[in-house]
Amino acid sequence: MNRSDRSRAPGATGLLIIGLMVPVALAGQASSDACGLAPANQYPVGTSCVNVAFNKPAAYVANINLAPASCNSGNFDDAFGWFTATAATTTITFTPGGLFDDAVLHILSACAANASLACADNAVFGAETVTLATVPGTNYIIRVQRYNGNGGFNGQLCVWSPPPPPANDNCPGAIALPVLPTCTMLTFSNAGATASGTAPAPTCGPAPTTDVWFTFTTGASGQVFIDTQAGTLADGVMQLYSGACGALATVACNDDEDFFGGLFMPEIDRRCATLAPFTTYRIRFWGYGGATGTFGICVSAPATPTTPQEDCAGGATICNDQQISNNANFTGCTADLTTANNGCLDGNESQGTWYFFSPSASGTAALTIQPAANIDYDFAIWGPMSTITCPPVGNPVRCSWAFPPNVPGYPGAAAFVTGMGNGAVDASENEFGNGWVAPLNIVAGQIYIMYIDNFDVTGQAFTLDWTLTNGASLDCTVLPVELIGPEADVMTDGVHLSWATQTETGTARFVVERSVDDLDYAPIGEIPAAGHSLERLEYAFHDRTPDAGLNYYRLRVQNSDGTGGLSSTVSAIVGMEHARLLVRPNPATDRVHVLIPRSSTSRVHYTLRTADGAHVREGLVPWDTQRDRLEISLAGVDAGLYVLVLEDATGGSLGSARVVVDPHP
């Protein structure tokens, strides 16, 4: 179902009615037969062309015979109005109402035959426009006649002067914006703005013709989030620069970032890719396609730099059976979910927040997640575990990825509610579930991690309400995050692994393990741990002899008391010539998921061949580069052994894998 479909209103006939444009006369305002400055004949000066009625009735007579004749004027019936200039330039446009009406337009300094300042007779049966230099506060006469004849006709007149350029029209006049802990929209306008022509040119959106400038100064963390809001201007573009005016360097550019929120207003998020601390930056904002009007802009940064709750390491502890309300507006700075731990959440992270809870008494936990609007929310819970390890290890014990249009009762609001309970007995469900999974038997003293995900990426809030039974209760002690990572980066001389600890209690060492199939791991080195710490510590290990193709890494944490645990798994690809791809499931029925490390390519070309090299199927698959799983359909492929070959958008090899197809397992 298309959620944007709209039915015809009751009683609609299907006829299209086109209204005629009718001039609108302002109260007490009209043209006059005689030249003069009567109040009823004064026309307003706007900041844009807004037409009002200016008619020449048939009863009007000739008053001024301009001598010498200009713009084909003559001693013919004429109509008059006047205006008081408000700026150094004024534009006057007269548009005849009739299809074959041909007008001549004059602007006079006085009611005299020799007082013509400007005129127009350029169009044949169309609008006539004059733009002339004017003196603010000075009165000017408008004269309209029919070309080479008399007779009445109706028309429309607009008199306007562009507003003066705003103070921040150019880079040197940039307005300083405060950097506040939360977004506080300040309203500005780019009306009257001109093209500043400042280099370097923007790297997104159309060339700016109505740009205005702002500055801000970063704090110690360098984190900022720049957001805009529609006013009378509803489609904007924004570029961020470093450096001084005349020596600017492009940092970022954005157009239409808020598209899914129903607006075409930009945002620039540097909460993860931070800017230089205590440095002044410049913002260039303009209307798309020359649009002008009011808009809001804000620059925000956390007062005290912390890991965002959109990352596992920034998760919040849930205390007892309290109701919580939260929302997220980005995906965080760390990709915590991969195919190794996402369970039913095939979309990995969309826009969600992380939570920790630990029962103070065992029992049964159910919960209800109620979106503030009809928004698709999903969730997963990992545990039980003795300590918090971010990202969570292994698949969740409860998981719902239900898609509301597949839920009975859609589009009703109940189809968007999800949680544990409501009679459900399944532990996990895919997009065809009903939004509910079984309650969870929780164990006192153990720890659980929960992720609540806004799949629609709307920033809409939700509330979560617990139902704790059979004696269950939650501990209110804030739970510390111990291990963050690891992350893997391919370098010219190997693979660089990095991780961090938030706290350590009796940690002896980290053993680095590697695998080529994500099944069998072997140790390749170890790093001594600090042992005891209450602050964040950074660790690193460099693998100088990785295998060609896919490499999987994990950490085995060993404590001084003999206990330990495993970290999450990360992958890296070394070389692109003969990479071995991991395919799941294998044998497969109607589709396979191919695990490949993240890449910059936006599409993947696949070829499916028989064992003797004959092509069976090929095609292009769009790929979200922030995911490490690619889905390929095998529908209609006969049972047998095949070779699957993947290439990136430039033809570079991504690897190959053997695939067994068994449509009837």
Question: Is the pLDDT confidence value at 7 over 70?
Answer: no
Backbone dihedral region for residue 405 (phi beyond 0: left; psi -120 to 50: alpha; all else: beta): alpha
The answer to whether domain 312-474 has CATH 1.10.10.1100 is no
Distances (CA, A) of 554 to 518, 536, 636: 10, 20, 38
> Is 207:219 a contact under the CB 8 Å cutoff?
no
pLDDT in tens, 32-70: 999 999 999 999 999 889 999 999 999 999 998 886 567
* Spatial separation of the C-alpha atoms in residues 266 and 560, rounded to whole Å: 51
Residues 575-588, mean pLDDT to the nearest whole number: 66
User: Judging by beta carbons within 10 Å of its beta carbon (0-12, 13-18, 19+), is residue 131 exposed, middle or buried?
Assistant: middle
Phi, psi of 213 (to 5 degrees): -125, 145
Q: Which of 297, 285, 272, 258 is nearest to 179 (CA)?
A: 297
Question: Is the pLDDT confidence value at 386 over 80?
Answer: yes
Q: Would you state the pLDDT for residue 4?
A: 31
Q: What's the gap between Cα 136 and its chain centre? A: 44
Domains 171-300 and 481-574 share a fold: no
327 — pLDDT class (breaks 50, 70, 90): confident
More confident position, 314 or 107? 107
Question: Is the pLDDT confidence value at 144 over 50?
Answer: yes
DSSP 493: T
Report, at the CATH architecture level, how domain 39-160 is classified.
Answer: Sandwich (2.60)
Distances (CA, A) of 237 to 195, 198, 285: 14, 15, 6
Q: Give the length of the chain.
A: 665
CA trace torsion 556, 557, 558, 559 (10° rounding): -170
Q: Would you state the pLDDT for residue 260?
A: 39
> Is 442:364 a contact under the CB 8 Å cutoff?
yes
13 — pLDDT class (breaks 50, 70, 90): very low
First-last CA distance in the chain:
32
* Among the ranges given (493-497, 554-558, 658-662), the one the predictor scored with the smallest mean pLDDT: 658-662
More confident position, 319 or 598? 319
The answer to whether domain 171-300 has CATH 3.40.50.1970 is no
Residues 414-418, mean pLDDT to the nearest whole number: 95
Tell me which range, 524-533, 585-594, 627-636, is most confidently predicted by mean pLDDT: 524-533
The residue type of 215 is T
What CATH number does the domain located at 481-574 have? 2.60.40.10
SS3 414: helix
* Spatial separation of the C-alpha atoms in residues 161 and 131, rounded to whole Å: 9
More confident position, 517 or 164? 164
Q: Would you state the pLDDT for residue 318?
A: 85
Beta-carbon neighbour count of residue 564 at 10 Å? 15
What CATH number does the domain located at 582-661 have? 2.60.40.1930
Residues 383-399, mean pLDDT to the nearest whole number: 91
The residue type of 302 is P
Q: Would you state the pLDDT for residue 257?
A: 60
Residue 14 tokens read as: 């299907």
Return the percentage of the chain with pLDDT > 70, whole number.
88
205 — pLDDT class (breaks 50, 70, 90): confident
Residue 262 tokens read as: 């129903």
Q: Would you state the pLDDT for residue 20?
A: 34
597 — pLDDT class (breaks 50, 70, 90): low
pLDDT in tens, 249-291: 999 999 876 433 335 889 999 988 899 989 999 999 999 989 9
Q: Which of 524, 596, 582 is nearest to 554 (CA)?
A: 524
> Is 388:356 a contact under the CB 8 Å cutoff?
yes
* Spatial separation of the C-alpha atoms in residues 311 and 354, rounded to whole Å: 7
Q: Would you state the pLDDT for residue 202?
A: 86
Question: Is the pLDDT confidence value at 193 over 70?
Answer: yes
Q: Which of 393, 601, 572 is nearest to 496 (CA)?
A: 572
* Among the ranges given (82-96, 507-521, 564-578), the one the predictor scored with the smallest mean pLDDT: 564-578
Residues contacting residue 86 through CB under 8 Å, at least 6 positions apart: 45, 136, 161
Domain coordinates of the chain in residue numbers?
Answer: 39-160, 171-300, 312-474, 481-574, 582-661
pLDDT in tens, 82-134: 999 999 999 999 999 887 889 999 999 999 988 999 999 986 778 999 999 99
Integer Rg of the chain from CA? 35
Question: Is the pLDDT confidence value at 339 over 60?
Answer: yes
Q: What's the gap between Cα 301 and its chain centre? A: 18
DSSP 107-162: EESSSSTT-EEEEE---SSS-EEEEEE--TT-EEEEEEEETTS---B-EEEEEE-P
More confident position, 349 or 320? 349
DSSP 5-21: --PPPTT--SPPPPPPP
Q: Would you state the pLDDT for residue 9?
A: 30
Residue 398 tokens read as: 């409860």
